[in-house]
Structure 1
Amino acid sequence: MNIGLAWPIVSRFRRYVEGLPDGGVQAVGTTVRADGFDFPFSHQDETTIAYRGRVDFTGHSGLLHVFIEDPEITLHDGEALISIADDFEEPRGRMSFARGAFVREVVDGVVILVIAEPRLTDESCDLFNGAYASGALIDPIVASFPDGRQPVAAR
């Protein structure tokens, strides 16, 4: 079983970008799949699982540039908050992207978290320039990481 974050991000946004005459999707340190992206596992602490990699969406002669970098999942009270690196904040901070309830299971020594119905946050709506409403449902997210190091909140 692979260890990492299987994340389509927002598949309808990806389809839109790929349909632009000059649209592009470029991944660095992340595997591109037909149905999304695989971000490799980085590390974790008591409540947060971190992944690494970057996906850039570009188009409209450079006017469109959205990037998703170094996603993290923070678990609290049965909910998962997905955040991404925020390069526009000094010092570099985090931007909340989506949140949702999760289901946890362990298979062959790997913890799997499934966030079946993640919803965009207010901050991520700004990232997409208001094209998607706060609370909009996005594609399911599947996170995996080694058992024995799972965050306390996931036990």
Structure 2
Amino acid sequence: MPETSGAELRWSIRASFLRYVAALPDARASVSDGARLTRDDPQLVVYPADPDATTDSTLAFRGDLRLSGHGGLLFVRLAGPRIELGIDGGTAVLSVEDPTSEDGTGPRLPLVTVTLTRTEDGWSGSDAALTADGVALFNHVYPAGAPFDPLEIVTTATAAHVVL
């Protein structure tokens, strides 16, 4: 199993969506379980590594981001992201915990596909696209294949053992 104790997922999900939510008069955003929003870029969410759930083919992260507005009609929960590494080494799937399950025991929701590229500090994820399964989480506002923001996985030397 690869050691990932110092890694973190840095992702703005879809910055335009986060700005939209922030502009709502009753907007609410919360982070817990280690996830945090950065001061430099309020649209950037940081999820710390979850070494206990990381395997040779999965990079796991902890944290829970919740966004709401429109009197509760808008609610998006992105918790416990995991990146399932593709067999071909480039395309991966980022999934989140079942957004309707508070304890994370429901089925995982494949949210976006992403192309991962190795960098000096970890990985860069480009060409992020919403999956058909992820469309309902955003109330069908974005169609399957809609572009989402690139992501980055920054590591200390610890996550370098995962080979894509």
Coarse TM-score class (shorter-chain normalised)? 0.7 to 0.9
Measured after TM superposition, the shift of residue 8 of structure 1 is 0.6
- Give secondary structure in 2 for the equivalent of 1:14: helix
Residue 31 of structure 1: aligned partner: 36
Moved more, 113-122 or 141-150: 141-150
Q: CA RMSD in A?
A: 1.8
Query: Per-residue displacement from partner, 1:107-148 (whole Å, max 9, x unpaired)?
Result: 4xxxx1111221010111110011011101111110134245
Q: Please state if 1:85 is matched with 2:97.
A: yes
- 1:72-151 aligned at under 5 Å gives the runs 72-76=82-86, 77=88, 78-88=90-100, 91-107=105-121, 112-145=122-155, 146-150=158-162
Residue 17 of structure 2: aligned partner: 13
Measured after TM superposition, the shift of residue 25 of structure 1 is 1.3
Q: Select 2:57's aligned residue among 15, 35, 47.
A: 47
Instruction: Give the TM-score of the pair, scaled to structure 1.
Output: 0.87
Identical counterparts, % of pairs: 29
Contiguous gaps of at least 5 residues in structure 2? 1-5
Query: Per-residue displacement from partner, 1:20-57 (whole Å, max 9, x unpaired)?
Result: 11011111121102231110000210100000001100
Which contiguous aligned blocks of 4+ residues in structure 1 show a shift greater than 6 angstroms?
Answer: none
Counterpart-to-counterpart distance in 1, 2:76 and 2:67: 5
Counterpart-to-counterpart distance in 1, 2:159 and 2:78: 26
1:87–1:93 contact (8 Å) kept in structure 2: no
Aligned length: 147
Counterpart-to-counterpart distance in 2, 1:148 and 1:141: 17
- Give secondary structure in 1 for the equivalent of 2:49: strand
Contiguous gaps of at least 5 residues in structure 1? none
Instruction: Give the TM-score of the pair, scaled to structure 2.
Output: 0.82
Q: Which has the higher strand share?
A: 1
